[in-house]
A and B are shown apart, each in its own frame.
Chain A
Amino acid sequence: ETGVTQTPRHLVMGMTNKKSLKCEQHLGHNAMYWYKQSAKKPLELMFVYSLEERVENNSVPSRFSPECPNSSHLFLHLHTLQPEDSALYLCASSQRGAGQETQYFGPGTRLLVL
């Protein structure tokens, strides 16, 4: 395993629900990422946190709200989602400044919005 865990692994929610995705990394890395992977689309970068500060928000709708309370934990808060938000949400971590940017991914959360 890669040392990055995600919960829940599967989530079904209605458009009016509020839920949160959780990611935890046990690798001592200083950067964490959220990606969205939809069928037949390239991996889309959503958010980047470096040293607990958000350094990139890739034009993501406000119904997705990230939170990084410390360097090991990353959350994605979801509210009033749309059916097109159904996808696999992947969390990753890396050690920034190492010059390589190899990323370590969690297993993902499969989200279905009804």
Chain B
Amino acid sequence: SQQGEEDPQALSIQEGENATMNCSYKTSINNLQWYRQNSGRGLVHLILIRSNEREKHSGRLRVTLDTSKKSSSLLITASRAADTASYFCATFYTGRRALTFGSGTRLQVQP
């Protein structure tokens, strides 16, 4: 299975701190994506990193990808209460017709 695993399952931090979430996967990929889900809502795409990239930035988000370890991390800097949500990694490879999602990390940012 290509299923990704996020670590930790839950994370609670104070506003202003950084939050780091990790994702591991099992097989080769074309790209890895991170999504955010507010409680009971749909997922929103945050950032995509291709298999030939090692790091990518978007605003307060920083994603790294280590294909040798089959892992990725998402860093949210200077967190805000509004960042409270679940975060999912998803992998894509052309042999599959859809993304494969991990189990998610629930982030709670305390004001």
A56 touches B98 (CB 8 A): yes
CB distance from A42 to the nearest CB of B (A): 4
Which B residues, 63 to 105, have Cβ-Cβ distances below 8 Å to chain A?
88, 90, 92, 97-104
CB distance from B66 to the nearest CB of A (A): 20
Q: Count the B residues whose beta carbon is within 8 Å of the partner chain — how many?
A: 23
B99 touches A103 (CB 8 A): yes
The residue among A88, A103, A108 with the most chain B CB atoms within 10 A of its own CB is A103
Which A residues, 16 to 45, have Cβ-Cβ distances below 8 Å to chain B?
33, 41-43, 45
Q: Count the A residues whose beta carbon is within 8 Å of the partner chain — how many?
A: 26
| Cα distance, A94 to B93, chains bound together (Å) | 15
Q: Which of A48, A102, A107 contacts B41 (CB 8 A)?
A: A107
Summed over the interface, the residue pairs from A and B with CB atoms below 8 Å come to a total of 57
| Cα distance, A100 to B56, chains bound together (Å) | 15
**A-chain residues with CB within 8 Å of residue B45 when the two chains form the complex:** 102-104
| Cα distance, A102 to B28, chains bound together (Å) | 18
Asked if A69 is at the interface of the complex by the 8 Å CB criterion, the answer is no
A108 touches B42 (CB 8 A): yes
Asked if A65 is at the interface of the complex by the 8 Å CB criterion, the answer is no
| Cα distance, A43 to B2, chains bound together (Å) | 13
| Cα distance, A42 to B41, chains bound together (Å) | 15
Which B residues, 30 to 65, have Cβ-Cβ distances below 8 Å to chain A?
30-31, 33, 35, 40-45, 48
CB distance from B99 to the nearest CB of A (A): 6
A105 touches B44 (CB 8 A): yes
A45 touches B40 (CB 8 A): no
| A78-114 vs B, Cβ < 8 Å mask (1 yes, 0 no) | 0000000000101010000001111111111010000
**B-chain residues with CB within 8 Å of residue A76 when the two chains form the complex:** none
Q: Which 5 A-B pairs have the closest CB atoms?
A: A105-B42, A43-B101, A101-B92, A105-B43, A42-B103
